[in-house]
Amino acid sequence: MACAASFRFSSSGGGFSDKVRLACGLACFVCGEYYFAFEYMRPVCQKHPANVSLWNIMGQVFIAMPDKRTHKFVLRLLLKYPDTEPLLLVCGHNSLNASSYKLALASYHRLLKLKPRCPLVLLCVAVAYLSLAVRRSSSNRHQCVVQAFAFLRKYLDERQPCQESWYNIARAFHQLDLRYIAVHYYNKVLSLCSSSEGHAPGPASLHCEAAFNLSLIYRQSGQDDLARSLLHRYCTF
């Protein structure tokens, strides 16, 4: 219920009713009743379409409830509020999860016009282009790859070199099966574990993910001993 406490409503216009709906929706979500959580929270989203905290909660419901109704709900709301940033981002994520990459790109590009220097939006555009490039039916694969890495470069400039940015670039090369380049960037992630810029003691560290992906590359190349050494060093608790 901490999320409900952090969500602010105006004192007028039935705010108490909205808080009750949100609390009931969160209770249903915790109990695994995702359909009822969606039904309780949907009217609140319609009243507060630009509230980021609310859409963070609703996004968890969407992940747990992969239903076409959720995407249609977001699309209808986006038609009513076409320049609302959280709606554009959620619509892009839903389209990406549904493999509708062109629709996802349309939503992300509209959001990019509103927030041209946001690292998250730049990364989302790059991921959508990469996903479009690896499709078998893609007719302009090379152009999509070039556009993806152009946005990744902008993302790196805005986010600055860190574990997150190096990992995302390594993952992009790994997805394209350019393993020798991915190894270089995965090692950059691991090199930050012992430095002050790393986050090894905290939950935000990506050294486990980088080491696991790197071990997969080593196993594919027949270096099983090196893969086991990585897992033992970085993924043993």
Q: What is the pLDDT of residue 137?
A: 80
> Mind giving me the DSSP string for 131-166?
HHHTSTT-S-HHHHHHHHHHHHHHHHHHH-SSHHHH
Q: What is the pLDDT of residue 203?
A: 64
Q: What is the pLDDT of residue 201?
A: 45
Q: What is the pLDDT of residue 10?
A: 43
> Position 156: which residue type?
L
Instruction: In whole angstroms, give the CA distance from residue 191 to residue 135.
Output: 33
Please report how many Cα atoms fall inside a 13 Å half-sphere around the Cα of residue 6, on the Cβ side.
11
Q: What is the pLDDT of residue 195?
A: 53
Q: What is the pLDDT of residue 4?
A: 45
Residues of the chain with pLDDT under 50: 1-2, 4-14, 196-201
Q: 58 burial class (0-12, 13-18, 19+ CB within 10 angstroms)? A: buried
Instruction: In whole angstroms, give the CA distance from residue 184 to residue 186.
Output: 6
Q: Which of 233, 167, 172 is nearest to 206 (CA)?
A: 167
Residue whose tokens read 């893609």? 138
Q: What is the pLDDT of residue 16?
A: 55
pLDDT tens digits, one per residue of 193-208? 755 444 444 567 899 9
